[in-house]
């Protein structure tokens, strides 16, 4: 059973130089109780995808969104997040669909104690009174393993470390027991030990509550350990999607292959004392204002051929639950057929 089905999602912004497609024709699904990771480098459209799903894009950017995002709520009702009236969307946000942001340092309001901020969500969605919301906020802080939770309740964000703030953000997101958690690079701003703790905490919470997670990240190591399904994005499009094990075992798209080759563990050659130089993908993401006519990855691809420059390849099903967008994949499929 799926928790969320995104179909043909496109988001574009108006800029002075013309309309820019930040996300183009993205489709994926998140299974109930599972984690889907969206992977990609800066500018690949992964954050815009998550903000579009939450309907949190700034209205001022003359945003144009198309497609469907079917969310299956607690009652089993099927709702299109992109077409829901704002008032119903607001009732979902923080309640059934929650979000954690990348920057724990700035995503808490500096003038309210952390207890008040967690309580606000509870009072808003669950209609709890002040005392009950406070008690529940304390329970949430304990749930996210906040040290000295009772004391932290009345502290202000500036009194907490980055890791503790992210715990507060998670407590805030988990307060109303959401069925879908969108985590936009939740560990990027934290140091590595804290990252590991936060990720472990998120897994624990997922196991306890059975929520689904949409995990937006550029960290492949995190994806390997914590995701069930992976969607690789490049320049606003899905270039490959697959369950995590097959993807790491046999990446189909040259971009995914290059990304995996960038991992430090690949640079270590057995028998040699020092690892070889790290692999890096040459060049940079094409400007969204002037996208290449063909495959967006073609200018950086070592295996590009002339035909790559002609049209954008189709996203094709290669095996069960696997898709890739590459001319070679298309060729291999026709050969096999």
Partner 1 sequence: MRLPALPLVARKLFRRRIVLGAALALAAVIVVSLLAGPLSGFDPNETAVGQRLHQPSVEHLLGTDELGRDIFARIAFGGRFSLTIALLTSAGSVLAGTLLGLVAGFFRRLDAPVMRVVDAMMSFPDILLAIALVGILGPSMLNVVLALVLVYTPRVARVVRASTLVVRELLFVEAARAVGVSTSRILWRHVLPNLMSPILVQASFIFAYAILAEAALSFLGVGVPPEIPTWGTMVAGSQQYAHQALWIVLFPGLSIIVTALSLQLLGDGIRDLLDPRLRKSM
**DSSP bridge pairs for 99:** 182
Site string for partner 1, 92-131 (x = CB under 8 A): xxxx--xx-x-x--xxxxxxxx------xx--xx------
Using the rule CB under 8 A, give the single segment among 85-93, 213-221, 270-278, 283-291 that binds partner 1: 85-93
Nearest distance in Å: CB 182, partner 1 = 8
CB neighbourhood size of 332 (10 A) = 15
CB of 24 or CB of 173, closer to partner 1:
173
Q: Which is nearer to partner 1, 198 or 315 (CB)?
A: 198
When the beta carbons of 120 and 228 are compared against partner 1, the nearer one is: 120
Return the DSSP state at 323.
E
Closest to partner 1 by CB, 93 or 253: 93
For partner 1, what does the binding mask look like between residues 147 and 166, x meaning CB under 8 A?
---------x----------
Spatial separation of the C-alpha atoms in residues 186 and 190, rounded to whole Å = 8
Binding mask of the shown chain, residues 166 to 195, with x at each position contacting partner 1 by CB under 8 A: ---x--xx----------------------
Establish if 91 lies at the interface with partner 1 (CB under 8 A).
yes
- Closest listed residue to residue 242, CA positions, set 135, 324, 121: 324
C-alpha distances out from residue 75 to 31, 33, 79, 154, 315, Å: 16, 16, 11, 35, 33
For residue 267, the minimal CB distance to partner 1 (Å) is 35
Closer residue to partner 1 (CB): 172 or 296: 172
Shortest Å distance, C-beta 125 to partner 1 = 6
Enumerate residues 6+ apart whose C-beta is below 8 A from 164.
146, 147, 152
Angstrom CA distances, 82 to 51, 72, 102, 326, stand at 11, 13, 23, 29
Minimum gap (Å) between residue 57 Cβ and partner 1: 10
**Smallest distance from partner 1 to CB 98, Å:** 7
Size of the site for partner 1 (CB under 8 A): 29
| Helix, strand or coil, per DSSP, at residue 241 | strand
Two structure tokens written together for 15: 């800029």
Judged by beta carbon, residue 160 or residue 296, the one nearer partner 1 is 160
Pairing of strands 78-80, 64-72: antiparallel
Closest contact distance (angstroms) between CB of 192 and partner 1 is 23
Nearer to partner 1, 94 or 163 (CB): 94
> Kindly report the CA angle at 47 between 156 and 262, in degrees rounded to 5?
105
Largest CA distance in the chain: 68
- Closest separation between CB of residue 110 and partner 1, Å? 7
* CA neighbor of 49 nearest in space, from 97, 84, 8: 8
Nearer to partner 1, 4 or 220 (CB): 4
- 299's CB contacts (< 8 A; 6+ apart) are 283, 286, 292
We find the least distance from the C-beta atom of residue 304 to partner 1, in angstroms, to be: 39
Per CB under 8 A, the list member of 8, 17, 18, 56 interacting with partner 1 is 56
CB 232 within 8 A of CB 49: no
Strands (E), 254-303: none
Which residues lie near partner 1 (CB under 8 A)?
54, 56, 60, 90-95, 98-99, 101, 103, 106-113, 120-121, 124-125, 156, 169, 172-173
């Amino acid at each position: 059973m799926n928790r969320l089905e995104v179909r043909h999602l496109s988001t574009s912004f108006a800029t002075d130089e013309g309309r820019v497609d930040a996300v183009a024709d993205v489709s994926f699904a998140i299974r109930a109780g599972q984690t889907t990771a969206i992977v990609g480098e800066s500018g690949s459209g992964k954050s815009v995808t998550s903000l579009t799903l939450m309907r949190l894009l700034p209205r001022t950017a003359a945003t144009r969104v198309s497609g469907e995002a079917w969310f299956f709520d607690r009652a089993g009702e099927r709702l299109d997040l992109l077409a829901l009236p704002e008032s119903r969307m607001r009732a979902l946000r923080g309640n059934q669909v929650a979000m954690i942001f990348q920057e724990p340092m700035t995503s808490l309001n500096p003038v309210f104690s952390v207890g008040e901020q967690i309580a606000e969500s509870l009072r808003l969605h669950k209609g709890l009174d002040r005392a009950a919301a406070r008690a529940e906020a304390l329970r949430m802080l304990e749930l996210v393993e906040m040290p000295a939770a009772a004391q932290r309740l009345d502290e202000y964000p500036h009194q907490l470390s980055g890791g503790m703030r992210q715990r507060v953000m998670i407590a805030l997101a988990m307060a109303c027991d959401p069925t879908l958690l969108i985590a936009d690079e939740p560990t990027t701003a934290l140091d590595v030990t804290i990252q590991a703790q936060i990720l472990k905490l998120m897994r624990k919470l997922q196991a306890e509550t059975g929520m689904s997670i949409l995990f937006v990240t550029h960290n492949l190591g995190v994806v390997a350990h914590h995701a069930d399904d992976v969607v690789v994005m490049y320049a606003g499009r899905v270039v490959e999607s697959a369950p995590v094990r097959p993807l790491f075992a046999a990446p189909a798209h040259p971009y995914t292959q290059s990304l995996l080759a960038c991992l430090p563990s690949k640079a270590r050659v057995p028998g040699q004392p020092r690892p070889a130089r790290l692999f890096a993908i040459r060049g940079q993401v094409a400007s969204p204002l002037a996208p290449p006519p063909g495959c967006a990855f073609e200018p950086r691809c070592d295996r590009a051929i002339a035909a790559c420059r002609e049209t954008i390849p189709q996203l094709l099903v290669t095996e069960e639950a696997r898709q890739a967008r590459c001319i070679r994949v298309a060729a291999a499929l026709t050969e096999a057929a």
